[in-house]
Structure formats: C-alpha cells, structure tokens
Chain A
Amino acid sequence: MLTIQEMFETIKMVQREHLDIRTITMGISLRDCGHSDVKIACQKIYNKITKLASNLVAVGEDLEREFGIPIVNKRISVTPLALLAEASETESYVEFAHALDRAAEAVGVNFIGGFSALVHKGFTNGDRKLLAAIPQALAETKRVCASVNVATTKAGINMDAVWLMGQIVKETAERTADRDGLGCAKLVVFANVPEDNPFMAGAFHGVGEAECVINTGVSGPGAVRSAVEKVVGTDFGTLSEAIKKTAFKITRMGELVGRAAAERLQVPFGIVDVSLAPTPKAGDSVAEILEAMGLERCGTHGSTAALALLNDAVKKGGAMASSYVGGLSGAFIPVSEDAGMIRAVEDGALTLEKLEAMTCVCSVGLDMIALPGSTSAETIAAIIADEVAIGVINQKTTAVRLIPAPGKVVGDFVEFGGLLGRAPVMATNAFSSHDFVLRGGRIPAPIHSLRN
C-alpha cells in the first residue's frame, strides 16, 4: 500500500512544482502519400493525418483528467517532407506546408513537425526545393515546424547546407519581422538529429520508424529543483542521487501516460523522451536548478560542470524508469523559455559563448536565442557550424534555433508569448566569418580513434 507521504509527494510535484507531461506526439509516416500531382499528394497527406490523429487530442484530454496530470501539448510529427514531396512535379513546396497546417488545425494540435530535409551529406533536388520553401512556409502557416539536419558524425558537416541555412534563418526572420521574427522559433538546424524526438520544433517521424507511433516527452525542472534544494550542502554523490530519483519518478509518468495513450489510440508506443524542458513559468527553470546547486547565477564558472552532472543524472534516472528512452533526452537550455536563463543574460552572467560551452554536455544546443537584427547570414551560418561541429565530434545531437530579430539591438527584448516566451537580444562576436563560411563543400567526418 502506498504511504500518505508518497501520495502527497506526487500531488505536490504536479500542483506546486509544475510536473507535467510536456507532449504526447503522434509520429505518422507519410511515405505512402507521394504523388506526381501536388494537389493529390497534399490531399493524401491531409487525409492520412486527420484519420490517424482524429482522437489524439480527445485521448490526451481524457488521460489528463483521469490521471490528474497536465498534458500540455498534443502534437504530430511526420516523415521529413522532402522525402515524399520530391515525387511531385512542382517547383514550390509551400503548398505541402499548407496541407500540414490544415491537417493540424483540423485535429486540434498546436504544432506539426516534419517540414524537414536530411542533407548532411548532400542535397537532392527535392531537398533544395524544401529548403527554399522554408521562409515562406513558416511565414504563411501557424503550426508547421521545419528542421534540417546538416551534419552527422558519420558524414561530416555539409557546409553548403550550413551556409544556406544561415541565409534561410535570416530570410525567415525578415518574412516574419512584424512578429519579431517568430518564424525562426519554428526552425531548427541539427547535427545527428534523432528520428523519434517528440519535442518541437525539431520533431519529425524518421525513416526507420513504424507506420504510426506515440512518443511522449516529460518535463519537471521544478520537481528537480525542489529535490536539489532539499540536499543543499551535501556532496556531489548525494546531489546526483537526489536528481536521479526525481528523474525516475518524472519519467515513470511519461511511460504510464504514453503507454495508456498508445493503447487507446491503438498504435505502438515508441519512446519516452527524458528531458528537462523549462517553460517561462516561475519555478519551471533549468537555470534555477544550476543555481540551487550553488552557483550565484547560471552562466558563471562551474555552470558547465553543474549542467553535466544534471544531464547525466537525469539520463540515469530516466533510463531506469522506461524500457524505451529516446528522442533528445537531457536538459534543455532554451533562453527565451526559461525565466532563470533570461535573468542570467540580463545580469550579464550568461553569454552566447558560455551557452555554446554548456551545449557540449547537455541536449540540445543553442536554443531560442535572439540575436541583433543586423547579424549577417554568414555569422549565423558560422554559429551553426560551431554548434554542429560540437555534435559531430562528440557524437551527440546538437541543434540551433536562432532568431535574428529584425530591427532589434543588444539589450532589446523579443516577445513571442506563450510557451515560446521572451528573449533578451544577445551580442555576437563582431568579427567576420565570411571567408570561412563561403569556402563550400563538406567538413570531413571525424576520426574515431586517437580520441583526445
């Protein structure tokens, strides 16, 4: 029999520490939706998504009521669109984005991911068309998220793609200038992208995946911080143990809800993504966990070590709690979505360079960072190149989601609202990367012996 203390702990985690299921994401294969006629292809896409996901939101809401745990988002990920769009005889892929947007709206999900291409080694004609369509697609749709994988440890870094993405990020910001460059919040550039990630904006349904699966993403920075606060002054072993235990409990929720959702929707259960995903809400911050460990501000010396401990302990606890852990699994450090990160930037404790260092030891990367509107496409491409190089060399996923906010300068704020939050515009290095970025070609895949 459960003790009253255990029951109280669960309730406290949900009611006061913002423990929630961040997302139930249905992955849907669209590989059978290709057609030479773009209109027919779009219709097939719409029909398939609305058929398979028709009950997704209702099931999510039922589970939320029964378990008494919030399920914040119900979302959909689909096959990287370039893979099927290239069967269609058309020059513009924007129409596909509209089809995804309509389908997402029809089933009531807030985001649909998979306007994506995998170009880590090179481009097909379809990949090029997809990339070209990204700025317009993100400006004209509400729910569609785009992602592009530009590097892997096995293939190296496609620097042509990196340079192109620098220009696309810039154009996407300009096309959504009236909304502070909101389009860029829906665009992620990856190295070593996972195929089963349920979190937006980088979710898609990978080519090795089944017809349709349910993946869940859990989140509970508040619960972890509370556990860390309870062991103040103890040694690192005790600290790690406290985080592992909490991560275990959080992940169990994801496993339970994911399996229940999969059963009711009659599709296989995929993975639990064991992540600490912050939200702008007070107390739901990864930065505050690091501060609770004993750092005056997130970003000061010691932050990388603190984050490494946190990330590892979360994975260890999470791996114990679920048979199938996948996706991005780790601590997220998106600036705009984390009140503690925002404060650290405002106080001058956290810089772009420190964030880059921190991404070496956590998932995922430089996330939701606002840059001055004057930042050049070359500089954005160079920031992407740096970040994917970290992923490629360290055999991990890294991602970049930058917002060069039109008309904004360092010190200004970019306001997105909701889960996307608000971001202080951060300074970049003033020196040029132009000649490096424009060399063209690929950075070769790294050697895996002689590790230093």
Chain B
Amino acid sequence: MSDARETTIGSRIIVSVLGHDRVGIIAAVTNILAESNINILDISQTIIQEFFTMMLIADLGNSKIDLAELKAKLAKTGEELGLRIEAQHEDIFRYMHRI
C-alpha cells in the first residue's frame, strides 16, 4: 500500500459520506483525519436526491497512517453513525469527469 504514493497515483483522496443528516458527522470525520495528520484541502456538503452528501478532499502526503488503515477507521465510525463513509483516491473522480 505505501508504495502507492510513489507510482502514478497522487496522495489526494476524497472522503465521501452518504446517508441521513445528524449532529456531529463533520466533527467525527475531521477528528479522524486530524489525529492522523491528514490535511483537509476542501470540504462541501449538500443534499442530493434526498441523500445527505459530504465530500472532503484531503492530502495523505504527511499522513501517519496509510489509506487502508484510514478506510478501516472511517468505516468503523460510519457504522457507529449509521452512514456510509468511503475514502478513495482522487484520480478515479478526476479521470471520470475531466478530459
């Protein structure tokens, strides 16, 4: 996993949260990122097709943990809050929507 950053894939990831809105979602997610020294570059939230949607762009460059670990932490928190929280490399979004 750690060698991923040295190949074609950049260190920027997108954290997505989908589900029902409730108090403390952003706090819970950003707390995990802060603990791991992951810098947040952009954050936005909205309601799309009745789904509470939060997208957060972060940089794993100086992270203390790798993506797999982060995904596990986020998934655990997501379960506790009844939400689906994912972390994916930014490339998949960029590649799909930008020529």
> Which residues of chain A have C-beta atoms less than 8 A from B33's C-beta?
none
Interface centre among A4, A7, A65 (most CB of B within 10 A): A7
Check if A154 is an interface residue, CB within 8 A of chain B: no
B86 located at the interface, meaning its Cβ lies under 8 Å from any Cβ of chain A in the complex: yes
Write out the residue numbers on chain A whose beta carbons fall within 8 Å of the beta carbon of B46.
4
Cβ-defined partner of B97 (8 Å) among A2, A67, A260: A2
Known: A65-B71, A256-B95. A15 touches B88 (CB 8 A): no
B48 CB, nearest partner CB in chain A, Å? 5
User: Does B91 contact A67, Cβ atoms closer than 8 Å?
Assistant: yes
**Given the known A-B contacts A15-B84, A68-B87, are A8 and B55 also in contact in the complex, defined by CB atoms under 8 Å?**
yes
Asked if B65 lies at the interface with its beta carbon under 8 angstroms from chain A, I say: no
Known contacts A7-B55, A62-B1, A260-B7; A252 and B95 CB within 8 A of each other: yes
B93–A6 CB distance below 8 A? yes
- A residues 1-45 in Cβ contact with B at 8 Å: 1-2, 4-11, 15
Partner of B44, one of A4, A252, A259: A4
For the side of the interface on A, what is the size category?
20 to 34
Which chain B residues border A15 with CB–CB below 8 Å?
A: 18, 84
| Residues of chain B with a CB closer than 8 A to A62's CB | 1, 4
A65 pairs with B18, CB closer than 8 A: no
Any B CB within 8 A of the CB of A255: yes
Q: Which residues of A contact B44 (CB under 8 A)?
A: 4
Binary per-residue interface labels of chain A (171-186) against chain B in the complex, 1 for a CB within 8 Å, 0 otherwise:
0000000000000000
Q: Is the CB of A67 within 8 A of B92?
A: yes
Is the Cβ of A259 less than 8 Å from the Cβ of B8?
Answer: yes
Which residue from chain B places its CB closest to the CB of A250 in the assembled complex? Answer: B96
A435 at the interface (CB under 8 A from B): no
Please state if A10 and B97 are interface contacts (CB–CB under 8 Å). Answer: yes
> How far, in angstroms, from A256 to B94 measured CA to CA in the complex?
10
A325 adjacent to chain B (CB < 8 Å): no
State whether A4 and B48 are in contact (beta carbons under 8 Å apart), knowing that A11-B86, A62-B1, A67-B89 are contacts in the complex: yes
A249-278 interface (Cβ within 8 A of B): 249, 252-253, 255-256, 259-260, 263-264
Instruction: Decide yes or no whether A69 CB sits under 8 A from chain B.
Output: yes
Given A8-B48, A15-B84, residue A66 in contact with residue B95 (CB < 8 A): no
Asked if B18 contacts A66 (CB within 8 A), the reply is no
**Contact B96–A253 (Cβ < 8 Å):** yes
Q: Which residues of A contact B42 (CB under 8 A)?
A: 1
Smallest CB–CB gap between A21 and chain B, Å?
Answer: 11
Q: Find out whether the CB atom of A66 lies under 8 angstroms from the CB atom of B4.
A: yes
Q: Shortest beta-carbon distance, A273 to chain B, in Å? A: 18
Q: Can you offer 20 A-B residue contacts whose CB atoms are under 8 A?
A: A2-B90, A2-B94, A2-B98, A4-B44, A4-B45, A4-B46, A6-B96, A7-B16, A8-B51, A8-B53, A10-B96, A11-B86, A15-B18, A15-B84, A67-B89, A68-B92, A249-B97, A255-B95, A256-B95, A260-B7
Beyond A1-B42, A15-B84, A67-B91, list 18 extra A-B contacts (CB 8 Å): A2-B93, A4-B45, A4-B46, A4-B55, A8-B51, A10-B93, A10-B96, A65-B71, A66-B9, A66-B89, A67-B92, A68-B86, A68-B92, A69-B92, A249-B97, A260-B7, A260-B8, A264-B7
